[in-house]
Structure 1
Amino acid sequence: MTTEHSLSDVTLVFGASGYIGSHLVPFLATRGKRVRAVSRNRAVLEGREWQGVECASADALEPASLDAVLENVDTAYYLVHSMAAGSDFGQLDLQAAANFRDAAARVGVRRIVYLGGLIPENPESVHLQSRYETGEVLRGGDVPVTEIRAGMIIGPGSAAFEVMRDLVNNLPIMITPRWVFSLSPPIALPDLLTYLATVTDLPEAAGKTYDAAGPEVLTYAEIMQKLSRIVGRRIRIIPVPVLTPKLSSYWLRLVTSVPVNIARALIDGLKHDVLADDASLRELIPIPLHDVEQSIREALEAERQQDIPAHWVEGSIRCRNFEPRYAFYAKQATGSCLSPASPAALWREICRIGNNGDFFALNTLWWLRRTADWLFGGPSFRRRRRDPEALRMGDVVDAWRVIALRPERKLDLLLEMKLPGSGVLEFEILTREDKSEVKATAYFHPAGVWGLLYWYPLIPFHQWAFTAMTREIARRAE
């Protein structure tokens, strides 16, 4: 059975590479919507391998890029919000919203749906204030706007959920900031997606703002206790009053894998109780809501059942050795080099990685690392390549295995060494005007505090090693 669509019933998800966008796109597609996913980087969207979804690129700060992606759009979801630091990020958010609002009016979009945040009384968070002001800017145009405001979302990849999961998995005793006792009405990701997908079909929701929340109001400490019981961990929480939001973000950077910019924005919104009045939304869209325990269990199960892209993406359970205890967000280290060599020449050299113990640079150090792996029973030195010149999916390269391969573009190698976590080594070739850029990036998903202690001392080595490797690849290709 196929679903026929007219040219003017496209549903646009603007900001589709973000957390909500990356879940909303397939959710809408499975409900029969004709979806156009848009972000600044089209390649990131294509890497998600969504079936039946059109992927495009645009930047809300570049008005000329917007009309084309809004063509034939009936409903547009606006999911853009900056997590950047700096004093001007708020103004950039407002300018982006104004550009999008005006472009939507020009091409005749019927409805804009905006996902905002629950606003506490007297908010001090500049990020929450910016999200509120973004909604006001969108409402200042000719296209009716429906805004849904949500607080903490429980689902795999949600910043708040992943912070709590890392804390529970990494620290049996937590010396925590006071914000762990702030109140919040967390909502399950599937419930929020249902609200977002359904509200566009209701004419009475045009021009309205709704709070979205789950059925319980709990502190973050209470949610972590529930999570710890579900995953079989015992934790003790000891709050201290002296950790400022800035210090808290540094603390989270040390003990979790959530990126520091996301952690800082998250903490800014945790200093106060956040409550919701969701009666009007529940009356409009009466669905059974998940309580917190159900939300956590479903999030963990959804992660186990997720579609597995044939390459590294943030949170991929395959790249975490199918181990939910490993951090969702990866620690990263990158090296790169520009070269006049062609992509074909660079690709030929990349595919020779590991031949006779040759990893392009610092081979003595690589030998020492492989020796340590061998001594602990790992696969280093025990396996040979199928072909010294060519690679294909599933090939073994010493302690790595090929999990993604796009000739002259990208190679992903899953690390199978003995280590406290899981890792992927990715080589990528990008076109830069008249040159090619070759990049080498390590993605490491630490297993608890031991994984973090393993990673941090190696950061200088990784950046040095990957820069040296890419330079040698470029030299050989030239």
Structure 2
Amino acid sequence: MGSARGERLTCLVTGATGYIGGRLVPELLAAGYRVRCMVRRPEKLADYPWAGEVEIVRGDVLAPETLPGALDGVDVAYYLIHAMGGGAGDFAERDRQAAHHFADAVQKAGVGRVVYLGGLYSGGRLSHHLESRAEVADILLRSGVPTAVLRAAVILGSGSASFEMLRYLTERLPAMVTPRWVRSRIQPIAIRDVLRYLVGVAELPREVNRAFDIGGPDVLTYRDMMLRYAAIAGLPGRVIVPVPVLSPKLSSLWVGLITPVPSGIARPLVESLTSEVVCREHDIAEFVPEPPGGLAGFDRAVTLALRRIQDADVATRWSSASTPGAPSDPLPTDPDWAGGSLYQDRRARRTSASPEALWEVIEGIGGENGWYSLPVAWRLRGLLDSLFGGVGLRRGRRDRRRLRVGDSLDFWRVEARESRRLLRLRAEMRLPGLAWLELRVTPDRNGQGSIYTQRALFHPHGLLGHLYWWSIFPFHSLIFGRMPRNITLTAERRAADNSSREEERVGRS
């Protein structure tokens, strides 16, 4: 190819609803390419922030009759499709058929280049999963169309199945008996570097038709990665004891039990870890230079993946869906089990009080005004916090009626305040995790009254954090359950009192 990007090449992205595809599209758009997305169900792309900037076509690699139209006029075709789950023979056969259909279609359509993201392997016996990835790579390389195969091991980024498995195992198990594969050497790579390579190989010289190993600067065992993850996440040291009795099948069942990653996805990932996955060459650097500062190491990649939680940006954790964010950021279209645990207690109540009257009560919460539910329970929680060295309830509030961002409020701190709309408080009590209380006002659509919405959020820190949440869960209805009713009734009563005083004033005049 070798053409200038000013010519606005057209890139087709298959698998655009997947983890890699959903993050690649905005990178291609930012690089100046036209982008077409091929999906089986176009409606699934409706929630993506870039949906209005791309062409969306219906197509299915297992239905070859749908491919010519999708590939018409395409310069670069990204093949990001992998069958997961089911038996080994099932997904391998689907992958084989799909690759043959796509290889035939790109050759007939005159596509200039194919780019495929496969799995990294270092020789020896391959798992069924990696064997299938290698077979797909060979089929595409023999298609007659110049093909670049990028082979990666564990991809580090919030939402990546490999990363989420690592996250949940480490966070939920302070001590664990593990299979022997935790000793396998792995060369992980940050999602931002994977995407940089994927964009960078779009315009390789036509004579380049080969595979490239891609990986970050660190080579670690899975055990090393768990220990380093724990340190980065601020967890106590983990006790990891490898044993020889856990087969990949038993391991995947164990992973499925401990983590929310489905067993059908966990099993091929676990099987892949039984082999060493370390780069044997770094030839990609000849065509795609490393970024300033080099590739992201393991610690940097994990820090980026955890940034949303570490920055306490919980209430807007999906903000990357409305504004361009880092490739490591979570997206609302990531699977439900991705992004780490975030427990939530949500309650709402409609009231006849105006948004202004409701906001007046919300902004006056805490301190001498109390928390509108079981004062004894709040005092007891403050006392317990004080006994464990926390701030307790003794701080009160700076102003009885007004709050501003940064104010201390009993054992909370004001993290966000939007007048007549939102008050978000971050807990500063002693907790095995991070906690927020969010109070929101929404005008009723009929123009009469408003809606009060309340969310208590908790991001657990290790196993103790999960146990803490479930131990206090039975008391939520007593503490949080009464707040919406009492707050809205107070707003209605104050509004009625104000109305009566106004009528009296008018009558006297």
- TM bucket (normalised to shorter chain) is 0.5 to 0.7
Find the residue that maps to 1:237 and give its secondary structure.
Answer: strand
Q: Which amino acid aligns with 1:233?
A: L
The answer to whether residue 319 in structure 2 is matched with residue 307 in structure 1 is yes
Q: Could you tell me which residue of structure 1 aligns to residue 231 of structure 2?
A: 229
2:97 counterpart of 1:89: no
Post-superposition offset of 1:417: 6.1
Aligned to 2:118: 116
Shift of 1:193: 1.0
Helix, strand or coil for the counterpart of 2:48? coil
Q: Equivalents in 2 of 1:302, 1:420: separation in Å?
A: 11
1:453 offset after TM fit, Å?
10
* Partner residue of 1:289 out of 295, 304, 310: 295
CA separation of 1:224/1:383 partners in 2, compared to 1, >3 Å: closer, same or farther? closer
Q: Displacement, 1:231?
A: 1.2
Where do 5+ consecutive residues of structure 2 fail to align? 323-328, 352-372, 379-438, 474-509
Q: Which SS does the other structure have where 1:296 is aligned?
A: helix
Q: Which structure has the larger Rg over C-alpha atoms?
A: 2
Partner Cα distance (2:443, 2:118) in 1: 52
Give the counterpart letter for 2:78 in structure 1. Answer: Y
CA distance in 2 between counterparts of 1:396 and 1:74 reads 51
What does residue range 85-234 of structure 1 map to in structure 2 within 5 Å?
A: 85-86=86-87, 87-203=89-205, 206-234=208-236
**Shift of the alpha carbon at 1:291?**
1.4
C-alpha deviations, 1:241-289, integer Å up to 9, x for none?
Answer: 2211111111111211212211111001011211212321123322021
Q: Answer yes or no: is the 8 Å Cα contact 1:171–1:449 preserved in 2.
A: no
**Structure 1 residues 82, 454: closer, same or farther in 2, change over 3 A?**
farther
Per the alignment, do residues 450 and 318 of structure 1 end up closer, same or farther by CA in structure 2, a change over 3 Å counting? farther
Residues 199, 205 of structure 1: 8 Å contact kept: no
Is the 2:112–2:145 Cα contact (8 Å) retained in structure 1? yes
Q: Which residue of 1 aligns with 2:242?
A: 239
- 8 Å contact 1:152–1:187 — kept in the other structure? yes
Q: In the TM superposition, what whole-angstrom CA distance separates every residue of 1:78-128 from its partner, at most 9, and x where no partner exists?
A: 011100212322111111111111111222110001111112423341111
Length-normalised TM-score, structure 2? 0.62
Q: Distance in 2 between matches of 1:39 and 1:112?
A: 17
The residue type equivalent to 1:27 in the other structure is E
- The CA distance in 2 between the partners of 1:282 and 1:452, in whole Å, is 49
Task: Give the corresponding residue for 2:64.
Answer: 63
**Structure 2 CA distance for partners of 1:420 and 1:327, relative to 1, 3 Å:** closer
**What residue number does 1:48 align with?**
48
Q: Does the CA-based 8 Å contact 2:146-2:207 persist in structure 1?
A: no
The 3-state SS of whatever aligns with 1:156 is coil
Flag the 1:449–1:74 CA change in 2: closer, same or farther, 3 A. Answer: farther
1:159 to 1:325, Cα distance in 2 relative to 1, 3 A: closer
Deviating runs (4+, > 4 A) in structure 1? 3-6, 302-306, 314-320, 353-356, 374-377, 382-387, 395-399, 417-421, 447-455
Kindly state the Cα deviation for residue 210 of structure 1 after the two structures are TM-superposed.
0.8
Query: Aligned with 1:203: secondary structure?
Result: coil
CA, structure 1 residues 240+417, in 2 after alignment: closer, same or farther (shift >3 Å)? same
Is contact 1:325-1:448 (8 Å) kept?
no
The one-character-per-residue Cα deviations of 1:196-242 (angstroms, maximum 9, x if unpaired) are 11112220663121111111110011112111111110122122222
Looking at structure 2, the residues matched to 43 and 143 of structure 1 have their Cα atoms a distance apart, in angstroms, of 31
Matches of 1:184 and 1:391, distance apart in 2: 58
Rate the CA distance shift 1:28–1:453 in 2: closer, same or farther, 3 A. Answer: farther
Residue 341 (structure 2) pairs with residue 326 (structure 1): yes
Residues 281-332 of structure 1: CA distance to partner in whole angstroms, max 9, x if unpaired? 123322021111112122223786863448xxx9547999xx965269x9xx
Q: Secondary structure at the residue paired with 2:75?
A: strand
Q: What is the SS of the residue equivalent to 1:88?
A: helix
Checking the alignment, whether the CA contact within 8 Å between 1:327 and 1:448 is kept in structure 2 is: no
CA distance in 2, matches of 1:241, 1:247: 12
Residue 37 of structure 2 corresponds to 37
Given that 1:156 and 1:162 are in contact with CA atoms closer than 8 Å, whether structure 2 keeps it comes out as yes
Counterpart amino acid of residue 9 in structure 1: L
- Does the 8 Å CA contact 1:317/1:324 hold for their aligned counterparts? no
Q: Structure 1 residues 301, 145: closer, same or farther in 2, change over 3 A?
A: same
Deviations 1:36-80 (A, max 9, x none): 122222222221121522223211000111112112110001011
Q: 1:317 to 1:107 in 2, by over 3 A?
A: closer
| CA displacement at 1:385 relative to structure 2 | 9.3
In the alignment, residue 305 of structure 2 is paired with which amino acid?
Answer: A
Q: Distance in 1 between matches of 2:24 and 2:69?
A: 21
Contact in 1 for aligned 2:36/2:56 (Cα 8 Å): yes
Structure 1 residue aligned with 2:274: 271
Distance in structure 2 (CA, Å) of the matches to 1:40 and 1:53: 16
Q: What is the aligned-residue identity percentage?
A: 37
- Rounded Cα–Cα distance in structure 1 between residues aligned with 2:257 and 2:215: 30
Q: Distance in 2 between matches of 1:292 and 1:118?
A: 17
Residue 17 of structure 2 corresponds to residue 17 of structure 1: yes
Q: RMSD over aligned Cα, in angstroms? A: 3.9
